Copies of this chain bind each other. A is one copy, B any other.
Amino acid sequence: MMLINGHAQTNLPASDRGLHFGDGVFETIAVQAGRALCLERHLGRLVAGCARLSIAAPEPGTLEEECARICDGQERAVVKLMVTRGSGGRGYAPDKDALPTRIVARYPWPQYPATSRNEGVAVRICETRLGRNARLAGIKHLNRLEQVLARGEHDPGQRDEGLMLDDRDRVIEGIMSNVFIHRDGRLCTPDLSECGVAGIMRDLVLEASREVTGQAPECTQLDVADLITADECFLTNSLIGIWPIKAIEEKSLRVGPVARALQKLLTERGAMTHD
């Protein structure tokens, strides 16, 4: 099921700048009991991303209404929203009169194994690095070749997630998730001012940090050694919620109480699915 500019259709003009340049932004949202979780936050980020790219964002009310149509009656599903700068000519110069394209698409809920949330996941370190560009950092935009290449790397262990580093060996995020550590009683997550996607679940964890740990969280530079020496590590995104990390490459980590407390809190608040 897919709505393109409000109409049920599955094709779009091949002149769309989303296709030609990755000129747009997207959101991936968990649907539970007919409701898109944290929709207001997702729409807020979508609008903010459009603003940073100077794309005229659709009215949030329009997207909200289209989301409601596509979520109606769905017990579990995923909604992906995309907004592109719309159709254009051949060149990079945006057409001032172009109307943005909005796509609201529904996908089946991915049946992640319950063990991932309960017992944690083993992750690898990706060979593919993230380039740094402050102009694009944090935005969930459509230029995602780095993630595609990282996901496509051969992994004999078939692990569910890989950590991505920048060219200075700093851990930035997972291929599809953000990463946190708990050390010295405090939650820390990589600073995303030069690369990475600032996730909605990441924001929720940052906001819940003081409640769970008693301390303000920290956005800082982290390397692999910081992760493997931490008290706990975990991954976040809007679909998985929170997955503890039980191993990074050969190194086993402790699955601990902070990740569990955050899972409980954010599930109770309706920000995470039940499983």
Binding site for B on A (CB under 8 A): 2, 4, 9-23, 26, 28, 53-54, 78, 80, 82, 84-85, 89-94, 103, 105, 107, 110, 128-136, 141-152, 167, 175-176, 195
Contacts and interface: CB of A to CB of B under 8 A. Distances in A.
Given A129-B133, A175-B92, A10 B14 contact: yes
Given A53-B145, A131-B132, 18 more contacts: A2-B14, A11-B11, A12-B12, A21-B145, A22-B143, A22-B144, A28-B90, A85-B148, A89-B107, A91-B151, A92-B148, A93-B151, A93-B152, A128-B135, A129-B133, A131-B131, A142-B145, A143-B144
A144 B53 contact: no
Contact of A19 (B16, B92, B176): B16
B135 A149 contact: yes
A84 B135 CA distance: 26
Nearest to A133: B131
A98 to B, nearest CB: 12
Given A128-B135, A132-B131, A144 B19 contact: no
Contact of A11 (B12, B23, B107): B12
B14 A105 contact: yes
Contacts of A23: 144-145, 148
A18 B19 contact: yes
Contact of A136 (B10, B93, B145, B175): B145
Contacts of A130: 133
Nearest to A2: B14
A11 B19 CA distance: 11
Contacts of A94: 148, 151-152
A90 B103 contact: no
